[in-house]
Structure formats: C-alpha cells, structure tokens
A and B are shown apart, each in its own frame.
Chain A
Amino acid sequence: MSDDKTTQNSPQTVLSVQDLCTSFRTDDGLINAVKNVSFELAAGEFVGLVGESGCGKSVTSKSIMRLLPDHITEYSGAIEFGGTNLLELPEKGMQEIRGNRIAMIFQEPMTALNPVFTIGWQLNEALLYHTKLGKAERRDRAIELLKMVEIPLPEQRYDEYPHQLSGGMRQRVLIAIALACEPELLIADEPTTALDVTIQAQILKLMRDLQEKTNTAILLITHDLGVVAQTCSRVVVMYAGQVVEQASSSDLFHRPRHPYSKALLESIPRSGKKKKGQRLATIPGLVPTLQMMPSGCRFADRCDYKQDRCVDEQPEIGLTEERLVRCHFPVGSAEASEA
C-alpha cells in the first residue's frame, strides 16, 4: 500500500495489527474466531473492514479494544498502537486508552445509549474520566461536541434523554461521545446499518467531514459494500476469520482478485442495468463453521476457480500486483486461467 495517496500525505502508522489470532475457550475446545489477521491504519485514513456475518470482523474490532471477556479469550500476535502492544497491556492501561485514544461507535443507536441518563451526562462521563476539565468546562465542551455533530439546539438536547431523540440523532450523539477526547483511532462497527438511507447519507457525510477536520483514522466495519465505496480509500475483506484481500477501494471494486471478493460484488443487484428476469450471481453453499474449518483454503468449497491444490494447502496472504490476496490462483492471474 506504499503508493496509497493518504499514506503519502501522512505516513505515520496509527494502528498495526500483526498476525492477530483470537480464540475462545469453550466446552467444545478452543475455537479460533480470527486467524492471522494483519493490517495497518495510517493517521487520517478511512479503511473499510468488510465481510458477511460471522466472518470475524466484529471480533477483530473488539480484540483491538480488548472488549472480549478476558477469562475465555486467548490472543496471539500483536496489536501495535502508539508504540505499545495492546495485547500485553494490563486492564488499567487499557482503560486509559479506551474511549480516549481509541473510541468505538456501535451498531445499535437505540441500545448503545443508557436510557436513564441525559445526553449531557453521557457526554460528561468520557470527559470526566479522561480529561482534567472542570464541571462548567465539561458542559461547554459537551455542547461544542453536539454542535460539531450538527445537532440542532444543542443546549436543549444536552438535558434530554435518549428516547427523546430519533435514531439518526442518537447516532450523532454516539459519534460526539466517541470524539469527545479527540481519539487517534475511531472504530465504527456498522454505524449506519440500523438507519434509513437518507439518514445514513447524513451520518456518513458527517463522519467524512469530521475525519478531514480532526485527522482521526477511521476503521469502518460494515457488510454494505455501497457504504465502503462511498467513504473508504482502502478495503480489507474478511472471510471465515481470515483476511482474504486487501486493496484500494477502486482496485477492489473494479478488479477484485480474490474469488470471494468477486462473488460478493456480483451478488449485489446493480442499479440501472436491469434485464428482465435476470438472476443474481450467488455464492453456493455455506460458510464453514468455526469447529470444522477446512485444512486447505477456507473458501475452496464455494469457489468457482477451485483446483486440487486449494483443498490440500492453505494459501498464504501474499502481494499480487500491489495488493494482498490470500489465494493460490488469484482472479485474472496466469495460473487461474489454466484451470
């Protein structure tokens, strides 16, 4: 990704996930939810983490925030953030980073806010823990944040409860809380999935504007490729707990190299190119379960380009024409066309 535009402007790496494996101890033994995931985020970069339900994208983000239950979770690899490995940090140290230097926005704006406290109280909480501001200053800052996320009448909203706000407004409040301490990294886990398209557009524009203003790196976790196309400069595609492709948005959408990325893009109905009764391309079969991961390529069973080697040997993620692809025979390569 060295030729990426954003990387050139700000080559400083904010987050570097290296070979992350996250497993859960269960009655059925150790279950590996995320395996050998590596990616980097530079300051001011907007990166999408894409995949279908159960592919490990939320586990990856929660591993970065260390929000998974400690007593059953085992990590390996490293998550470098500001010179420290977050996986080795004690809980106390993590608390100083969480909500302060790394913030997170959750999917459900309806449930992520505490219904019994006012908007102002919830904004105050983050400021109280992480800053040395006095009471009056915190109120000013909170109202300033509400203004920043374009909430009308912020002074009045400050004293209102979550149920008095619409879904879009609540998501704005969550963004305001996340940005309260000016984090270096913002993780947005499906921030617009529960919202209508017109409200979704408002929230995405807000996130993009704020990112330009504050130079925060944003990791956007989503299953909606349209949202990625609209906002992200780079995309990481996950399948069954692994990263299968990592490329700039433009490359991925126009020339996907991993068969899974290609199939995923083809299964979305395309606007404006309707043919009567045309069927959508589908991916046959199901995602393998975590208990029964195939030893070879995890996508092999459903892949149109499968060869014998795919079943026997797990492909490593490797550089193919300036992007990372986990496939023995990437789409469009000389080896693939032999099949």
Chain B
Amino acid sequence: MSFVKAEDLVKHFPIRGGVFSRIVGAVHAVNGVSLQIEKGETLGVIGESGCGKSTLGKTIIRLLQPTAGSVWFDGTMTSALSHNDLMPFRRRMQFIFQDPYSSLNPRMTASQMLTEVIRFHDIVPVGERKKYVDELLETVQLRPEYRNRYPHEFSGGQRQRLNIARALAVKPEFIIADEPVSALDVSVQAQILNLLMDLREQFGLTMMFISHDLKVVEHFCDRMIVMYLGSVMERVSCDNIYEDVRHPYTKALLRSNPINDPDEQTELFILEGEVPSPRDPPPGCPFASRCELVEDACRSTQPELVTLGEGQQIACDPVVRKLREG
C-alpha cells in the first residue's frame, strides 16, 4: 500500500450570504482527487492559482477537514481520526508554507520557534534541547550564532531555511512543501532547492511539492499531477515530460512556459480564455471551455482518470480514445 493515499478527496468552502448568513453556495476547491505517494517519492502538484493545489495539500495533512473522501497515511485512515488520535501523526507529517515573511512569528527568535515544536512533541530530553536546536540550524546551513535572532533579521532565503528547520525539528517522514521557493530570487531559489534535495536524501523523506513553476517541479520531483479547477487532469513521470504529456491542458501549460533561449523563440503560444469560477464549475470536463480537442460529450460528462501504464494517468476522453484506436 502507498505511504500516502487520498481517495476521492473533496473540499468545499461554504459561501454565506443574506441576512441570516445562510449557506448560499460553495467554492468547489478540490473535486474528487485521488493520489498515491510511495515511500521516498516526491510528488509534484502543479497548476495555476485557484486550481486547489494548496487546499489539496492542507486537506491531506488535515489542516483542513475534508468535505468527503479519505486520506490514508502509512496504513491509517487519518481523515477519520479524532483530534487526539491525530497527534502522533501530526508529528510525522509537516508543512512548509509559501511565504517566508508571514509564516514566522515576528516576536519569536529562531531558537524559541524551534524549541516550541520540540517541547510540544517532546522530541529530545530537556537538557539536550539547546544542542538539538544548534544541530537543526546547522542542518539547514544557518549559523548556530543566529539562534537568538528575530525573523526580521534574516533574509528571505534564510527565513525559508528556518521554516524548513522548523518542519524538520520533529523528525517527520512526510513533508508537504507549498510553493517553498516562489517568493525567492532565482539564485536563492537554487540554494533552497539544493538544500531540500540534500535533506530529502539524508532523512529519506517522502514529499509533496506544490508549485506553479513547471521547471522547478520537473527538476525536483519524481512524478507530478496536474490540477485544473479542483480536478486532476494528468499524472505523469517527471523524467521526460516534454514527450510524455498528452493532456491538452498540460500541453498548453508547457507551451506557455517561457523558453530560456532568445534564439529558439517561436510565436508565443496563447491559451485563450480564463479559468471558470470554482463557485459554479461546469458539469463536464473543467477544461472544456478552453480546450482545442473539445467534443460535445466533454461539456456534459466529466472524464475519468484513465491509467495508461508506466504510472501515467490522464483524464481526457478524446485523447484516450485516440490512443486506444492507435
């Protein structure tokens, strides 16, 4: 069985309105997502803003309670556990947030921040805490002398290192990183990605890496899922994405991504239109309104995720039919 597994995960946020704040609708953030992450594997989650990728991460780790569906972690269904029963699992799964500026408490020093989680989960005996904090800072390549500094005394990259140290402090097995490098400059981004790669190897971490940047996901992950309007469009290995992807949305995403070579520029690829509102998602395929392969059936029935072999899955009926017909 997979180390982390989600089955038909659904997360809706109610919209309240009117005088009595009745529920008048729902934002369909995550719509029936199923995924598996094997031990030691890194799964990339890619998609544009508002596609539900962060909500998916938070629901898997149960920072948000799923509306429907289940999450399994190391053989236990964590989505049904009570608050107290979940505690041991909280230690084993950690979350790294996107914004290194707002995710650290400005009134706590680096060592207070780290000690807080160490104390809460009782990771090391009291006498060894100080030494353990220094070790953690060294693990993320921050100098132990920085232990009494406040967040504002660190640069963006250093804050993200601190965030990583806080996640690692409880010796987790599974880490969800939500856009950990999006707010950073490219040279700092490269440092943080290298650090995460080293730590992943050193501690044998299983990871879910949420990002909108295809180049970063391709570089960092073993496999990725592509999300659009709360649904998974495609799951594909990151080894050879340019040849393997088949879903029209993933292809459009690849072609919209700037190429870092001024001499290889073709006419800019334009995906017309915009993402439909998640408050009122279309009944059929969410991508139907912008798709070049769209058929009548696409607009009325949502396609199932079909396995193509080699771990690739795709939710697009016209593509699947074409492949089967050869």
Contact = CB atoms under 8 A, between A and B. Distances in A.
Given A227-B258, A267-B187, A277-B197, A205 B218 contact: no
Interface stretch (B20-28, B54-62, B261-269): B261-269
A57 to B, nearest CB: 12
A208 interface: yes
Given A226-B260, A267-B190, A286-B155, A197 B48 contact: yes
Contacts of A278: 219
B187 A263 contact: yes
A281 interface: yes
Interface stretch (A36-44, A153-161, A249-257): A249-257
Interface string A241-280: 0000000011001100000000111011111101001111
Contacts, number: 122
Q: Which of B155, B189, B190, B194 has the most CB of A within 10 A?
A: B190
Contact of A196 (B194, B212, B239, B270): B212
B121 interface: no
Contacts of B306: none
Contacts of A264: 186-187
Interface string A281-319: 111001000000000000000000000000000000000
B253 A250 contact: no
A166 interface: yes
Nearest to A208: B268
B159 to A, nearest CB: 13
Contacts of A52: 185-188
Contacts of B35: none
Given A197-B212, A230-B258, A230-B265, A283 B271 contact: no
B274 A282 contact: no
Interface in B161-209: 185-191, 193-194, 197, 201
Nearest to A286: B155
A265 B215 CA distance: 14
B48 A196 contact: yes
Contacts of A168: 274
A197 B257 contact: yes
A223 B185 contact: yes
A270 B257 CA distance: 12
Given A198-B271, A270-B215, A282-B187, A249 B262 contact: yes
A69 B212 CA distance: 36
Contacts of B191: 282
A101 B257 CA distance: 32
A226 B197 contact: no
A269 B258 contact: no
Size range of the chain A interface in the assembly? 35 or more
Contacts of A169: 274
Contacts of A253: 260-263
A263 B285 CA distance: 43
A31 interface: no
B187 A197 contact: no
Contacts of A249: 262
A240 to B, nearest CB: 13
B152 to A, nearest CB: 14
A204 B257 CA distance: 12
A229 B259 contact: yes
A127 to B, nearest CB: 28
Nearest to A265: B260
B123 interface: no
Interface string A192-232: 00001111111011001000000000000001111111101
A32 B188 CA distance: 24
B205 to A, nearest CB: 14
B49 A196 contact: yes
Given A198-B252, A267-B186, A267-B189, 15 more contacts: A196-B48, A198-B253, A202-B270, A202-B271, A208-B268, A223-B186, A229-B259, A230-B259, A232-B262, A265-B260, A267-B190, A269-B190, A269-B216, A271-B218, A283-B190
In the complex, the 8 A-B pairs of residues with the closest C-beta atoms, listed nearest first: A226-B258, A269-B219, A249-B262, A280-B190, A267-B190, A196-B48, A52-B185, A201-B256
Interface of B: 48-49, 155-156, 185-191, 193-194, 197, 201, 212, 214-216, 218-220, 238-239, 242, 252-253, 256-263, 265, 268-271, 274
14 contacts: A52-B186, A52-B187, A198-B253, A201-B270, A223-B185, A224-B258, A226-B260, A227-B258, A229-B265, A250-B262, A268-B260, A269-B220, A277-B197, A282-B191
